[in-house]
Each structure stands twice: as structure tokens, then as C-alpha cells.
Structure 1
Amino acid sequence: MPIYEAIYRSNDHEELITVNSIEQHEKFVDVKNHLYCTYQGCTARLSYVPKGKVRAHFKTWPKNNHIQDCTDYFERMVTANKQKSIATSTMALSDKHIKSVLDNLKRKRKEQESGTDKVKTNRKKKPRPKVNPDSFENTTLNIVPTTGPEADLTSGENNIKEPSVRNRSLINLSDDDLNWTRSVECYIQNVETDDNRAVLELRDGNYTFRVFFEEFFFDNAPINFRGYFEDLKYLVQRHKEYLFSGVGLIEKRNEQYCMLVNRGNDFRIDDQYIAIFLQNASA
């Protein structure tokens, strides 16, 4: 069952945290890493799961157990998934798939703005099959999305469905996202340009995030993209309310999360490809 309250415990400090208040907490990053069960005497650690297909909630930390008297106690089961060894391959995402990801970001944002978004309720799931611990291991193929060079598989190769791309807000990025392709959207605060490099600085409250366009991007993009970023830089200096939406690889540079974008169709400004945005902005 989902959990909606937790105890934030740090040194001698304890504080009740709810799923409705955690993201507004001034120490959000520290809070989400120090959450525990609220039941007296239960020391099970919890993690925060932001709103996605289901409403935001807390869940029990892997390999942490509640005491039997706790209202959130459950017995862990050995499942078939535990018996699988995993092989990982990367798959290049098609322009069509990236377009779908960016379109979904726009749609969800519009629904939230209009108040028409509905959180999906949990459906009853079939219990996972139990397995014989002595049985032979099965191997499953884990497909990882990528927009970079040298992917193991091309889009749709071997009739394998393209993997999904998870969306992240700046406040919810964590080390679990590193080296994964994610989607992000936020408002641009600054643009830096160089010969074979452009950097967009995004900001959400106290959180900053940099989006890098580097040598691989410019080697494969039309030559006029250099001018596009110069024009965007000029516009942002005059008006800092342009929304960036993009798909790219999450990295960590100088102890800060950032994104590396590799292709010209993998991002939009104000829900438009940059060439169209600049054309409309100058009209």
C-alpha cells in the first residue's frame, strides 16, 4: 500500500513530512534522503516517489523491513524477476519517438494549467509468480534509450519496441538518473555560446540546471544552428520567460546535474523547434 506520511530524521531533528509538503521543503534534497516510517519503534527507511502515472507517495526502501506490528508491515516474496540475469543494450530513439515525448510534455502541462489532469488510480496487479530458488536463471534484455552515437540497436531493430523516456523536474533529479536519457522542461535564464558549444542555463526556484550542446551536436547539425543559439541568447537577455523542453543524457559536472543534447530535433523552445521559434519571435 502507498504511504503518505514519513518522518524526516537528521541528527537530533525529527519532522513529520507529507507527500503534499515535501517538495516545498527548503531542505528538500536532504529530506528525501532521510525519510523513515512514522510508526513508533519502526526504523524502516522510506523513499519519495513523485507524481507520475499514480499520485505521489512514499515507499519502503529496498531491503528495509517494517516491524511486524507496524501498519505498513509486509512480507517480501521471492519472485521470478529475482531469478533473471539482465543483459543491457542501448537503442537509438527515432525522431518520431522524441516528438511523441515532447508532445506529451506539452499536453500534460496544458492539462495541469487547465486543471483537467487526472491522476490514474492504482489498478489491481496480478501477483508475481513465485519461483524455485534452485531453478536455472533466465536472461532478460534491458533496453536503454539513447540519443547519442554508437547505440547497440537502431530504432525498432529486431521488432523491439523503443524504450520509454522518463520525465524529470529539476527538483526530483537524483543520482539514479545519471547516464540515462530523460526529458526535462524549465525556463531559460541564460545562454552561453562558443564556436562548437552552447549552454542553456535553466532555473526552477533555487535549482539550476545546464543543458549542453557540444561538438557532436554541431558536427551533425546544420551550420545555421550556431546562429540560432546567438539569436536565442539575444532574446533571452531581453526576455527570460522562454520554456525549454528537451530530451538528452543526464550527467553530473562540477557536482551539478546537467543534460547533454545530441540532435537538433531533440529540444524545443516554447514548444517549437528553435528555427520556427526564432522565425515567429522576429515576426
Structure 2
Amino acid sequence: MSILSAIYLAVDGTKTEILLSDITATMYENKLKRNLYCPTENCPARIIFSGGKKAHFRTWRLDKHSSDCEFQFDRIPENIGVNTTGTINVEIPHSRRQKALQEAFRIMNLSEEDLKPHLGNSPIKPRNKKRTITIAKKNVTGAQLVLFEGEEYDHQLVKPRTYICKRFVDEIKEMDIGKIRLVMGYVVGIRSVGVVSEIQVGHNNQLITAVFEEAFISDRFNSSYVNKFWSIERLRKETGSIRFTGIGEIRKNAATKRMELAIYRGSDFKVDNIDMSNLASQFTIRDLKTK
């Protein structure tokens, strides 16, 4: 979510709300710099003004918003979910992944008019793209230091962090291959592959296949999801249209040259914002009641 205003804290302690549209680069440098704070009441996060082609506010490096602040976000390791051994180590906290899926479903329910501010000329991005740093525990003698908004950090030892990028199916590009993405679209087909299935997801005439391979099947945390994919097809037959949101690794199939979304945890995807394991249970209970 974009920050459109900030609180200016003067030397005498008075507070004034400053709109983004009212700030110039000169004003910021001469008066406001290091004195802007989040507009949410009681939130301690400091705010930075960035000028240029598209002026914007962003959160001061390493500062945290209060838990109830609408601009609160998590800093996520960039090198998440790298699948190098047939299994995946997803470092994003479960709560963060679930929150991202909820946000994606909300976006899919926006009207075309309401969706415009989220789109612009680039794919949808979650609020407040940020980085944080992790300094390695080793001798840093001779390391080059740079200054970033009053903070020194060793750019040679910085571990970048980022957010979970959200993309509609038709926004997936070659540059996304090998990266973790949250993909949004509609279920257009499902094909059984043993105890799992392949789900065809589409948006604006573009397709991606959500795949669940051996790493998914062998993970004990996914035991409540295998053999439950029938519930998606049943929901599709009952409702006609199913929204899909899923977090996984973007790949290109070497044989078909088609894009794939490799999902490694059952809780990392939803259909109409419903967890598939819960969906199967709902259908099972309903069937028992009708017998």
C-alpha cells in the first residue's frame, strides 16, 4: 500500500501532516529529512521521501511499523525456496505466506476500476518493497562502507531481502524463471497425475501449469493434501469459475516450453480462497449428511 502522507515532527515537538504532493526535493533536504514519521497514530517508523520521476514515500531502512499499522510489512529473504536438490526450503514464515494469499484474493475481487491503481505500467507488487541486511560474522577489515540515509553498512556483506511478488498469469515473464512468485488466475483445467494433479491456471488467454511433484508428495506436512485434488474439479463443476492463488517457483518445462508453477506446500495455494484440504473435508461432510 502506498504511503501518501507523513507526519513532520518539528524541533518544538509539534506535529504536522505533510502530503506527498506538497513536498519538493529541496524542502525535504533543507527541512524535513530525518523528521518524517508514519502517518498511522502511535506508529514509530520513520519515513523517507524519494524524489525523481515518480516521487514516493518509503519506510526508513530497518525501521518497523507497529503491528496494527496498515503499512506494516515483513522483510523476507530473497533467496527463498531455491530448489537445488529436489526439495525446497521455504524460509518465508507460514503466517506471511497466508497473509500474501489473502491479499492476492482481495486483489482478484477488485473491480477493473479499483484495480488500476495497483497495476500502472508494471505487474502488481505488494506494498512497501524493502530490503534489510544481514552482516556475516567474519573479519571485515578493509571492507568498503557506503552511507545509506544515515546508516553505514558493508555492501559486500549485505544479504538482500525482498517481498513475495504477486503476478497475474499473463504477467509472468522469462525474468521470473527460477524465482518465487505468488501467481493469480482462474482454474481452466485439472489433470490427475497419481495422488496429485496438474492444475491449468489462466488469465487473459495466457496459461501456466501448477505442478506438484515428488518433493510435494514426499513431504509429510502435505499428507492431508494428497488424493484431495478431486475437490477442486468438483468445486469447478458446481461454481463454474474458480480463482486460484498459489506461491511457488516459476519454471519453464524443458519438453513443452510452457511455464510452470512448482508448489511445494499444500497450504501455499488456495482455490476461491479455500485451503484444498478443508475443501475436501467440506465435501465429505456434506456427502455424509445427504446419505
TM-score normalised over the length of structure 1 = 0.51
Which residue number corresponds to residue 150 of structure 2?
none
Show the 5 A alignment for 1:43-192: 89-90=79-80, 92-110=91-109, 112-113=110-111, 115-116=113-114, 119=117, 136=144, 138-143=155-160, 163-192=162-191
Aligned residues of 1:251 and 1:259 also touching (Cα < 8 A): yes
SS in structure 1 opposite 2:277?
A: helix
Aligned counterparts of 1:279 and 1:196: Cα–Cα separation in 2: 17
Shift of 1:215: 1.1
Report whether the alignment pairs 1:265 with 2:282: no
CA distance in 2, matches of 1:281, 1:242: 16
After superposition, the CA RMSD in angstroms is 3.2
In the other structure, the counterpart of 1:244 is 244
Identity %, equivalent residues: 15
Change in 2 beyond 3 A, CA 1:142/1:250: farther
Answer yes or no: is the 8 Å Cα contact 1:192–1:233 preserved in 2: no
> Where do 5+ consecutive residues of structure 1 fail to align?
1-71, 73-87, 122-134, 145-162
2:279 maps to amino acid: F
Letter of the 1:179 counterpart: G
Alpha-carbon distance, 1:238 to partner: 6.0
- Residues of 1 paired with 2:116 and 2:236: CA distance? 34
| CA distance, structure 2, for counterparts of residue 96 and residue 103 of structure 1 | 11
Secondary structure of 2:226 counterpart: helix
Does structure 1 conserve the Cα–Cα contact (< 8 Å) formed by 2:196 and 2:229?
Answer: no
Deviations 1:43-71 (A, max 9, x none): xxxxxxxxxxxxxxxxxxxxxxxxxxxxx
Q: CA deviation at 1:208?
A: 1.3
Displacement of 1:276 after TM fit? Answer: 2.5
Q: What's the secondary structure of 1:139's corresponding residue?
A: coil
TM-superposed deviation, 1:232: 2.3
Q: How many residues align?
A: 166
Could you tell me how far 1:200 is from its partner in structure 2?
Answer: 0.2
Amino acid at match of 1:263: R
Task: State the partner residue of 2:258.
Answer: 256
Describe the SS at the equivalent of 2:103: helix
> 1:239, CA displacement in angstroms?
5.0
Letter in 2 for 1:270: D
Q: Distance in 2 between matches of 1:242 and 1:279?
A: 18
Match of 1:206 in 2: 205
User: For residues 114 and 79 of structure 2, what CA distance do their matches in structure 1 show?
Assistant: 38
